[in-house]
């Protein structure tokens, strides 16, 4: 027993030396210069998860999670919550991000898109005008008037005048916030194309005014205005994002063509 204890006692300095060497190695490793980080590394660390996912899927844009909503089907698309209000004013709003872009990149594209509404490329456009165009703030505001056609048959034309304010705010980080508000309708058109009745969205297409008491159906008259408005706003917002998706497709194709040509 004494012999075993003697061997263990004599071995303690060896363990201490080994331990000191290990600690010394750790200390020296802390002084090593880290490898340089690439831009992609920094982007990967700083981007939210929803943006990283969109990048992996090869998309140019991604919706802000607060703007993303479940996609209802059928009539439920137009029921409770389909027409949002802010301080009692019907206001549709959507925010998206354009990957690897900033305000100076997104603003010109959103400006051209707004001008396309003004130029009458939207079917049945009556008139429209840009009322704010500010590159410094990144804001674009357009007032639009167009027809919304419910029924078009021989000697039976049922349509209204759809008026709204569309704005886009382009911020740093590729953030774009679109807003569609100040909605009103002209109705009861005479033979000369004049509309004799005006409805504001707040008194005509809100949940309170357009959905019946059971909450399962829309009233026939105001319901058709609500359906058209929800579909039209959705299309305007989707088309805005598609401007960037189409641009990315063109850019990617040019890169591929350049590689093939080498």
Domain count, the chain: 1
Confirm whether 21 is domain-assigned.
no
46 lies in a domain? Answer: no
Residue 129 sits in which domain range? 60-261
pTM of the model: 0.77
Cα 58 to its chain centre, rounded Å, is 16
Question: What CATH number is attached to the domain comprising 90?
Answer: 3.30.530.80
Could you tell me which residues come within 8 angstroms of residue 198 by beta carbon, excluding any fewer than 6 positions away?
Answer: 184, 185, 186, 187
Residue 1: what pLDDT?
A: 52
Residue 158 lies in a domain: yes
| Buried b or exposed e, range 160-172, using 16+ CB within 10 angstroms | bbbbbebbbbbbe
Burial 130-158 (b: 16+ CB within 10 A, else e): eeeeeeeebbbbbbbebbbeeeeeeeeee
Q: Is residue 18 part of a domain?
A: no
Q: Does residue 227 form part of some domain?
A: yes
pLDDT tens digits along 37-74: 555 555 555 677 877 888 788 888 999 888 877 777 78
Find the helix packing angle between 103-118 and 220-261, rounded to 10°. Answer: 130
Q: Give Cα separations from 170 to 5, 29, 46 (angstroms).
A: 78, 46, 20
Is residue 49 in some structural domain?
no
Find the mean pLDDT for residues 156-165: 90
Q: Tell me what pLDDT residue 255 has.
A: 81
Q: Let me know if residue 40 belongs to a domain.
A: no
């Amino acid at each position: 027993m004494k012999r075993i204890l003697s061997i263990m006692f004599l071995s303690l300095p060896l363990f201490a030396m080994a331990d000191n060497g290990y600690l010394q190695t750790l200390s020296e490793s802390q002084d090593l210069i880290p490898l340089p980080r690439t831009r992609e590394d920094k982007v990967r660390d700083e981007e939210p998860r929803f943006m990283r996912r969109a990048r992996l899927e090869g998309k140019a844009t991604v919706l802000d999670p607060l703007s993303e909503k479940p996609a209802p089907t059928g009539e439920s698309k137009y029921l409770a919550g389909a027409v949002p209000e802010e301080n009692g004013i019907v206001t549709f709003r959507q925010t998206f991000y354009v990957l690897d872009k900033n305000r100076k990149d997104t603003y010109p594209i959103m400006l051209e898109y707004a001008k396309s509404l003004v130029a009458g490329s939207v079917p049945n456009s009556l008139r429209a005008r840009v009322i704010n165009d500010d590159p410094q703030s990144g804001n674009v505001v357009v007032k639009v008037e167009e027809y919304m056609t419910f029924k078009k048959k021989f000697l039976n034309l049922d349509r209204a005048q759809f008026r709204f304010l569309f704005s886009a705010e382009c911020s740093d980080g590729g953030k774009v916030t679109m807003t569609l508000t100040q909605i009103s309708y002209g109705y009861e058109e005479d033979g000369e194309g004049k509309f004799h009745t005006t409805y504001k969205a707040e008194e005509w297409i809100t949940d309170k005014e357009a959905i019946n008491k059971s909450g399962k159906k829309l009233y026939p008259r105001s319901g058709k205005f609500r359906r058209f408005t929800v579909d039209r706003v959705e299309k305007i917002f989707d088309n805005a994002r598609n401007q960037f998706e189409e641009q990315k497709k063109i850019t990617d194709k040019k890169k591929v063509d350049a590689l093939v040509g080498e």
